[in-house]
Structure formats: structure tokens, C-alpha cells
Structure 1
Amino acid sequence: MKKLLLIGVFTITFFAANAQVKNWTLQECVVYALENNISVKQSELDVQATALERSDAVGNFLPSINASSSVSKTTGLGLNPVTNQLENRVFLSANGGVNLGYTLFDGLRNVRQVQRADISQLASQYRLEKMKDDIALFVANSYLQVLLNKANLEVVLTQNDVTKNQIVRTQQLVNAGSIPRGDLLEIQATNASELQRIAVAENAVQISLISLAQLLLIKDYANFDIANDDFNVVNEEIADTPVSTLIESAKENRQEIRIAESQVALAEKDIQISKGALLPTVNAFFGYDTRYSDGDINTPFKQQIYINDGVGYGLSLSVPILNGFRARNNVSRSKINLDRTQFQLEQAQLDLESNVYQAMVDVRGSKRAYEAAQVAFESQELAYTYAKDRYDVGRTNAFDFSQSKLRYDNARIEINRTKYDYIFKLKVLELYFGVDPTQLKF
């Protein structure tokens, strides 16, 4: 019985240990978001919809085939559809037929529609890729925010450990009469303030984790966490790349330009389609029909179907002459839309250049801020060490020591903030340079 109990406890412990919180890496978060994010899924549906548009356009090249049939019963005086005689009786009649139509020429509109569908499908693919880039950047930013909040929490926790040790040390000195009781009260007040900062920092970590989980559509917040990796600043050489090189690379790789170019191509195709409405349309048609009536009692069903059938075929020509200026106005509207999309393309190119310049300025500015924070941290670290040594030997009071420690804590927090801000700005620059969002270097 004891063995069974031990096995049961071991089994429960084993599964409990394996139900631990999953620590997600950044790459896992990015890949998961690209596979499950709602906005990405909607863009994928747009791609599927444009594929159906192309299927519709291709279907216009196929002939239209329709079959029809009808059955009627006539009571009283009526026309016998077989004998073409008026008869005053009850008789059953039926007819059926097959009609085929095919467009031989419609101003090449069918051809243009297929070409337009291809461009539209490509544009939707570009929008999907852009959405993936945006989601990857959102995920990276949220992930780095969690790292920043965790790093700041570690700062206040570490310094609170120092404060707790100082309380013990100060209590001993007060009991020995070496320092006044006011120093102990000052350290205790510092401890209370740090406990408050710890609570705020812990809350910030939880909120940022929930925000990241929501971005990934993960609802199990309790078992969601990120890997405690120490991300370093890497790939700094991209910041030394000439801006002109970055702009050219962005124009070749960024989806904003491709989307705008595809809109211009669509507008050009719309002009061709609208001009096609000004040209004649030629259609071919073929029809077969037959009839049956029980009023012709001397002719069997099969023979009636054979005798009463007929075939019709020919060509039809439709020439647009006057349609209330609609066709020509559609051409004019298409030309206006082309001008609009060309302006949008030009604006997209200008915006991209501006964004690349801004990204480069942000990288260089965040790098200087990070370097300045490192220098400030080194200075504050020396000042804090000096103040701590002086306090330990009773050559400075608790207030001055607490202020020095607070400045040191703030310097550590600032170096964390500038570090992760610099990393994120580098990631933005990498995306403009054409780095795949799932291959961002950290």
C-alpha cells in the first residue's frame, strides 16, 4: 500500500513538474504570432479571395451552356404545340432545349480582367507580407518591453537586498550606540519605498506579459512567460551603412512600395478595361430545342422528339453608339484614378525615404543615449561604492547613503531602458534593410 502511495505521489509530482510555465523565446513568439494572429489570418483570407477573382476572370473565357425544359397541361381550347392547331381538349405538352453562347470579342476586356486579377492577387500577397513585418515588429517591441520591466524589477530587488542587510547592520550599530537611531529610521524608510517600487515593477512585468500574450492570442496568462535571455546589442554595423544604401534596399524589399506600384498597375489595367467598353462586342450562339404533346396520338414520344427538334446558331454584333456618356466617363474616371495612384506611389517613396532617415536618426540617437547611460552608470556605481564604504565606517549618514543608492538604482534602470530602446531601433533598421522578420538578430 505504501509503495502504491509513493508511486501515486511520484506520478503527481512528475506531471506537476512538467506542467510548468512555458518560457517563450522571441523567435517562438514571432513565429507563433505569424501563424495565429487575427490580422495575419485576415490578410491570408484576402489572398484567397483574390484567387477566386482570378478564377472568375478565367471563367469568362469559357462558353455559357444552359439547359431548359418545361411541362404543361392544357384544359379547354388551346394551341397544340406540335400540330399548331387549336384544340378543345385536355392535353399534356413538354419542351426542352440546350443553348450555348460564346464571346468572340469584347474589346479584350476578358483578357484584361485576367491580367488585373493576377495583379490584384500579387498586391494582396504584398499586403500579407507587410502585415507579417508589422506583427513581427509589434511582437519584438512587446517582448523587449517585458525584458526591460524584468530587468528593472531585478534592479530594485537586488538593491532591496542591500537595504535589508543595511537595516541589520544599522540596528547593530544603533544598539551599540555608534550611530543615532535616526539613521535606522532613514534606512527603514528607504526599505518601505523600495518595497513600493518592487510592487510597481512586478505589476509592470505582469501587465507587459499579458499584453504580449494577447498579441499572440494566448489566453493562459498564468502559464505564459518569456525566456530569461540576456539580449545584447548585436549587428551594430548596420548603423554604419550609408543611408542611400538603406533607402535603395528598402525600395527593393519593403512592401509599401510594391503595394503602391501594384495599385498603379491596377489603375492602368482599369483604363484598358474601360476602353474596351467602347469597342463592339461579337458573340456566337447555338441552340437546340424539341417538343412533345400527347395531342398527337399517332406519333410516339421518341419520334416526336426527333421530328419536332430544331437547331439555331449564328453571330450577334453589338456596337456601342450612345449610352449616356457612361462608357467614356468610366474611361475618364479610370484615368483620374491612375493619376491618384501615381501620386500615392510618389508619396509612398517619399514616406519610405523619410522613415529610413528617421530610423537611422533614431538608431544613432538611441546609441548615444545608451553610451551616455553607460558612462553615467559607471560614475554612479563608483559614487555608490564610495558612499557605502563611508556609511559602513560611520563617516556619512543614512540619508546621504540612501540618496546615493537611489541615484545608482536610477542609473541602472536608465541603462536598461536605453539598451532595449537601442536594440529595438536596430531591429526597425534591419527590417528596412530587408531582413526577414523571423530572422531578426538578437
Structure 2
Amino acid sequence: MNSLQLTFNLKHYLALIILITCSISFGQNVTEFKGIVLDKDTNSPLALADLIITNSNVSTIANSDGEFLLKVPENLLQNTVTISYLGYQKLEVALSNFKPTDTKIYLQQAATVLAAIDIVAPKDAKELVEKALALKGENYATETVFMTGFYRETIKKRNRNASLSEAIVSIDKSSYKSSKNDQITLIKARKNTDYSRLDTIALKIQGGPYSSLHTDIIKYPEYIFNDETLSDYTFTFGRSTQVDNQLVYVVNFKQKENVYRPLYYGTLYIDANNYALTSAVYKLNVENQVEATKLFVRKKPRKANVYPTEASYKVNYRTKNGKWYFAYSNILISFKVNWDNRWFNSRYTLQSEMAITDWNINKDLLTNKQTKKLKANSILQDQVSGFSDPDFWGEYNIIEPEKSIETAIKKIKRQVEKN
């Protein structure tokens, strides 16, 4: 899985990932709404809840604290917003009910009628997964779709933020019937790194934004469920749930006990009506440290022992006009670096998020002399330097950042201003 491998060098060089989303028409006045999405019964925040302006492609995703920042073009202020979250009833709220700050959205858990589920549920979980993969031509886009996304990547040493990069990207998402790979064009990017928090070891995520696209199990099944590995997994049904008030089958999977190479385990959510994969949450089995390390570490200093401690992935799809589209990706990779000549180890966490918010973008409007098409092995950090153009980023900072990230940006910017 080369696109997710880590390369180590003896340089002050480091790339990380945490992503988020945006979508706004260029040149339009926008109105901001801030708030939080909560469980109606427990009042607990719902992390990564979806908010979509109806009859448009403008959307956003709540952060890990359930907080959201929604920027609405002037011509859409009379619309409603659809708020959805796995296992909860979909809710529509008029934008006239949103406040500039402190908007509270409460979602009610969906009650699933288990008796009805038992009647129609397939009997073989593996066959259901195979059917979902086979129906990609019917359920997903059959033409190239032009998408826009807001991408953020971050790295932490222990619990402290050390690097932050952000980018606006344009994606040529090829047909799910085609074997052609997706293409990414870099529209705008910025980054900052606090090198005082980093060792001289250099960390890179091969592929950069492309790694996010590769979590699309339907488009790139070879990374998890190819013809050779599908039989190495055990598939079982979990308790069915609902997404956007539609019945969804829950399929759990893990590698068989007699398979020793690192494979994945997690949960697939499959629409009961058309058998489309609506989302997936999965992890790499890193118990076999030697073999797991080979998947990520291509090169390292001689005196360093490097191994992953966690590799987690999440992908969401969104439906429109009867077709499903790649909408959101989250990758989190944690690993330890043990040095022969040091008492204490170093712990790093690399996280990336990509959120898609515009599917019908005017490609010619974005693709100009300042854009740059990324290669499949491009690393975002290699393409950008410094925070700049605050007017542009003020318009495109769509998702409310986590407080830790927001604080990290301020500290890094202050340090840059001193130099």
C-alpha cells in the first residue's frame, strides 16, 4: 500500500495530515453561521455530522467537538439545511433559524424496527459485501465528476501540534466503471511547522492528498478487498441502523485467525435498498509489528526502531439524484520511534481529513497558471510554504477548527512573525 507508506530522512522535514471541507462559489458574498450538533437526549456533541444546504452542493462537516462553521452564498440564504448523522434521524432546518453564533442543532436517535430487518436481511454477510462491490457501476457516478475539497494535514509529537498544512484542491473523480485513477490539482495551499518540536528525523506520508482518495473502497477495492484477500476475511452482521432515515445493514469484518500478515478490521454500512456502501470505518491490524512496519517504513536511521501503533481510516459517501459520491475521508496513523542512544521514545500522530463539498465545479475557473496538478506520489508539504493570502483563506476556512489546532496555528504564526 505504497500511497500510505512513511519515508524517513535525516532532514528537518516533516509532513502530516488532518483534513476538512469547503465549497463556495467564487466571488459571491457569504454569510457565516456557527454552532454545534448535539444528541437530543444526552446533549453530547456529534462529531463529524454532515450539514448540507438543500438544492445545492454547499456543505460542511462538524469537527470532533460537534462544532460547525457554515458559510452560505447570498443566493442560498432562503434554503434549508439538512443535518444527518449515522444512527440518527435526518433533520431539515431553515437557514432563517440559524444564528451567526451559538446555533444549537439537536438530532434524535433513529428507532430501527428489528422485526422488519430480520425479514429482509441477507443471510450471508460476505455475499452482501461482494454485491456492494459488484454494483458500483449502478450506484456510483458513471461519468467524471469535478469536485472541490478543503484539505488539512497535521502532525503531533506526543500530544502537541507540530505541523499544519491546508489546501484547496480540485479533483477529477473518474467514473466508477473506469479503471482510470482520479487526478488532483492544487489550487491553493499553506503550511507552518514548529521544528523545535521535531527530531531531526524526517516523516513523510507518501501520496499526500491522494491517500485520502484511496480510502474510497468502492473505487479502489484493491487496497482492502481484492480478489485475493476477500477470502482472508470473516464477515458478520451487526445490528442494523439508519442513515438519513434509510435502513442500513451493518457488516463487521476481520481477518481470519490463520492469516498472519496485517490486514484490516472494521465496519461497513450498506444501504438496504440499493446495496450501496454509504460509509466505512476500519483499522489496520498492527499486532504483527515486523510485518506492519514493512507497510509503512521504507527507510529509517540506523539507530531508530520505528513501528506503527495505530492506523485508522474512515470514508463517507453522499447521495444525490440517485447516485452516491465520495464525500469525506479521515486517516490517522500513530507510531513510535525508539532510539538506541536515548532513554525515552518519540510518539507521533499523523492525521488527515478531506471533505468534498462541490461536485459540479467550473473546472476552467479554478485551473489557471497558479494551479498545479499533483503527481500520485506528491507530498503536500513539498508544494507549499508559509501562510499567505488571508483574504482568500478567510473565505475558504469552512469547518470550525478544533481548539487545539486553532491554538497551534496562532502559536506557529507568532513564531514566524518573530523570525
The TM-score with structure 2 as length reference comes to 0.18
- Return the structure number with greater strand share: 2
- Structure whose alpha-carbon radius of gyration is higher: 1
TM-score (norm 1): 0.17
Higher helix share: 1
